[in-house]
Structure 1
Amino acid sequence: MQNRRETLKHSAVLAGLLAAAGYPQFALAAFNKAAFDAKNVQDAVKAAGGTGLAESKEVTVIGPDIAENGAVVPLGASTTLAGVKRMLILVEKNPAALVAMFHVSDAVDANFSTRAKMGQSSDVYAVAIMNDGRALWAKKEVKVTLGGCGG
């Protein structure tokens, strides 16, 4: 049976091995600071590698018509298009528009969901960034009520 001291020792060794292998750099490589710091939808899409924004019926944004609790609004994005590189979920009126970025490969279905904080009613965008750089989007208005009393 392992005691606390041995467990801590093994954890320290594992952390050292991961650091030596460059694990923190791999984790940060997937994080796009410029995209997450962008103040509007267009800048976030551009920072994520998208060009030529075009509305598409092949992209779906998922969210409630009315969110009674703006702190945890369920949002999603999906598409059945082939050649998708990234899926983005953006909230237009948030201080930083980009809520989530998902990297897509042939082994992954482009169907994602998350929860986001929304301070006010806003358009929510789902954007599919294609391998050729095109950014296809759909939007939906989500109304946020304060305490469910209307807003």
Structure 2
Amino acid sequence: MTAARHMRELDRSEALRLLSTVSLGRIVFTRHALPAVRPVNHLVVGEDVIVRIHEDGALGSLVAPGDVPGVVVAYEADVIDPVTHLGWSVVVTGYARVVADTDEVDRYASLLRPWVARPMTSALRIRPDLVTGFRLEAEPTRPLPAGRS
């Protein structure tokens, strides 16, 4: 039998702190006018989420032209135990833009481990406007009244 659980909302700082403890998540974006989801690895730098992109990869379509403030995306990561169903989940929603500074791209390339042996051509910076999350926690066990066992 699974123990009773409750869901506790996370504040922005706790959600971003938890997000920074894992390196894998899922980015949700629009591709060919439809929602698309890709698993990617990430870094949290300040409040920004950084992911690697490849020139011919699906995320290459997120390159915003000219003065556009970016492309709206969502980024989700979680750690949920498959047996106890305890853990946390965080979603960051905001604008994604390509990192323009070549020194930053080089630094991120050295920190983001690739999934496949393809060179990282650039990095995507997600500036979060909305950060939400929750933690699934076990309900505290109530002690039995005196004399009961």
Task: Please report the TM-score for the alignment, with normalisation by the length of structure 2.
Answer: 0.27
More strand by share: 2
More helix by share: 1
